Amino acid sequence: MTLKVLKFGGSSVGNADALRRAAAIVQTELPAGGLVVVSALRGTTDRILEACAAASREDLSTAQAVLAAIKQRHEEVATDLGHLDAVEAAWTPLFERLDQLLTGMAMLGEGTARGRDAALAIGETLSANLAAHCFQASFQDVRDVMKTDARFGKARPLLPALRAAAAPWREALKAGALWVTQGFLGASPEGATTTLGRGGSDTSATLLGEALDAEEVQIWTDVDGVLSADPSLVPEARPIPQMSLSEAEALSAFGAKVLHADSLAPGGRSGFRLVVANTLRPGASRTEILPHPPERPAGAVTSVAYKEGIHLLRFPASAGLEPPLEAAHSLEEAGALRFGLISSPAGTLLAVRPETHASLGVLGTLAASGVLCEAGWAVVALVGEGLRTDPVAALRHLVALGHEPVGGLLTGSSTVSIAFLVPESRLVDLIPRLHAHCVLPG
Ligand code: ADP
Ligand code: ASP
Ligand code: MG
């Protein structure tokens, strides 16, 4: 039997109507069983983090007020769907556990990364239990199979362990089971709950697709597939019907939120079909991500991506290479994303985005030790298979930058992109301009 994995993001399970639409998609796409991965109800992860932050500063009453709001919202959605009685047995202990975790944080006046992951897991576990009822499926806890290391907040999968643990799932799903599980979560070797980083449910779906030998993974979200730019900055951004894995990889690595940065590697290794589609308009255009590149005119740019929140670390030439390399290593180990490390006789520049509390701590230590750290930067990338065949075109496109205060040009291993650093404040002007000048008309 063909095995498919469907993933529904937060907005696709954000309210009762969205869940009804998702149920109809599950019925159409998985008539003979399969696996559904769900995120927490839209906004829940942010709210749980807010509650943890309040508890960590010993403000238990705010934390509990946030918890009460989360509980009320979930109960309203379940009531609207007619499943409140059915989910109550699974939900009550989850709300109690969240209360206990927050109380513990407030007593200590501190939230550890491990404690936060345990709290965050409740969001995805609540929604997966509810979705299982909506889809007439059974709930399975992803922590039984998603084996990761213990880097709380940005855990990395342990692929052989994941594959071994997934064997019984593979068998049951191929025999026709319909299961719902949580995105975003994993379990460390000692069994503690971990998370894969913000937006990590896409990666859960593709990692599970790989471990289960699925033929297809579908990412259901709130836009008509991958677009030529972020629609919140470029309303006229167009859907890209087909793109190569390399294009998708570059786009997500440079910040397009529609696909989590780590979500493309599993498809590259195992070769399943990867599709991005819109829960709000299932019949609308969608994006298919192919192992082999579609035809593109030489020099053509398919899309523009950006990521804000970049910190630049500057090391003088006299410092040599050891300190920047050590900084890059310790930041990455603590969960920062590295966007560039450029060295020249004039010095070394390291561009990173701290994604965890731990990596922010490392940045603070580096700054205190005298390393020049500047916040407020963004990375911008032009992406397209056309740049592979005409790399000089990439430089011609930079004319569209005009007099922008570019902080550095980033060349990397990807030959389908060119990226550069700009002040965050320039993004609102620059992204629409680059889209208009550089992206191939649809
Ligand atoms: P989900 O909750 O389904 O995971 P996300 O919010 O994580 O959804 O990702 C979808 C969002 O990504 C879109 O609503 C859009 O605002 C944003 N986005 C940024 N860049 C792109 C792009 N190039 N194509 C499509 N969406 C993009
Ligand atoms: N719920 C998690 C988040 O908001 C994971 C995800 O949505 O992919 O980051
Ligand atoms: Mg997402």
Q: What is the pLDDT of residue 397?
A: 81
Of the three residues 201, 221, 241, the one that is the final residue of a domain is 221
- Does residue 271 lie in a domain region? no
Of 154, 198, 260, the one to substitute when testing ligand 2's pocket (max ligand atoms within 8 A of C-beta) is 198
- C-alpha triplet 380, 384, 388: angle, nearest 5°: 115
DSSP letter assigned to residue 297: -
Are residues 356 and 214 part of one domain?
Answer: no
Q: What is the pLDDT of residue 154?
A: 94
CB contact burial 71-106 (16+ within 10 A = b; e otherwise): bebbeebbeebebbebbeebbeebbeebbebbebbb
Q: What is the pLDDT of residue 412?
A: 55
- Does residue 130 lie in a domain region? yes
- Does residue 248 lie in a domain region? no
Q: What is the pLDDT of residue 310?
A: 97
The CATH code of the domain that includes 32 is 3.40.1160.10
45 lines ligand 2 (CB under 6 A): yes
- Does residue 105 lie in a domain region? yes
183 lines ligand 2 (CB under 6 A): yes
125 lines ligand 2 (CB under 6 A): no
Of the three residues 221, 248, 274, the one that is the final residue of a domain is 221
Q: Which helix (H) or strand (E) holds 8?
A: strand 4-8
Q: What is the pLDDT of residue 442?
A: 62
Q: What is the pLDDT of residue 34?
A: 98
Are residues 356 and 208 part of one domain?
Answer: no
One digit per residue, the tens of pLDDT, for the chain of length 442 reads 789 999 999 999 999 999 999 999 999 999 999 999 999 999 999 999 999 999 999 999 999 999 999 999 999 999 999 999 999 999 999 999 999 999 999 999 999 999 999 999 999 999 999 999 999 999 999 999 999 999 999 999 999 999 999 999 999 999 999 999 999 999 999 999 999 999 999 999 999 999 999 999 999 999 999 999 999 999 999 999 999 999 999 999 999 999 999 999 999 999 999 999 999 999 999 999 998 888 888 888 999 999 999 999 999 999 999 999 999 999 999 999 999 999 889 899 999 999 999 999 999 999 999 999 999 999 999 999 988 877 777 778 877 777 777 877 776 556 899 999 999 999 999 999 999 998 977 6
d(CA 439, CA 442): 9
Are residues 213 and 359 part of one domain?
Answer: no
- Does residue 204 lie in a domain region? yes
- Does residue 227 lie in a domain region? no
227 lines ligand 1 (CB under 6 A): yes
Nearest Cα to Cα of residue 281 among 234, 212, 223 = 223
The CATH code of the domain that includes 415 is 3.30.2130.10
Catalogue the long-range contacts made by 12-18 (C-beta closer than 8 Å, 24 or more residues apart).
Answer: 12/39, 12/220, 12/221, 12/222, 12/279, 13/38, 13/39, 13/40, 13/41, 13/42, 13/127, 13/130, 13/131, 14/41, 14/42, 14/43, 15/41, 15/42, 15/77, 15/80, 16/77, 16/80, 16/81, 18/279
Residue 171, Cβ density class (10 Å: 0-12 exposed, 13-18 middle, ≥19 buried): exposed
Counting atoms of ligand 2 from 1, which one is nearest the CA of 196?
Answer: 5
Domain count, the chain: 2
Q: What is the pLDDT of residue 1?
A: 74
Of the three residues 177, 203, 221, the one that is the final residue of a domain is 221
28 lines ligand 1 (CB under 6 A): no
Domain range for 349 is 303-438
Q: What is the pLDDT of residue 294?
A: 85
Q: What is the pLDDT of residue 413?
A: 56
SS3 323: helix
d(CA 50, CA 438): 39
Q: What is the pLDDT of residue 422?
A: 93
Q: What is the pLDDT of residue 299?
A: 86
Are residues 309 and 211 part of one domain?
Answer: no
Of 12, 38, 45, the one to substitute when testing ligand 2's pocket (max ligand atoms within 8 A of C-beta) is 45
- Does residue 125 lie in a domain region? yes
55 lines ligand 1 (CB under 6 A): no
Q: What is the pLDDT of residue 405?
A: 78
CA of 54 to the centre of ligand 1 (A): 28
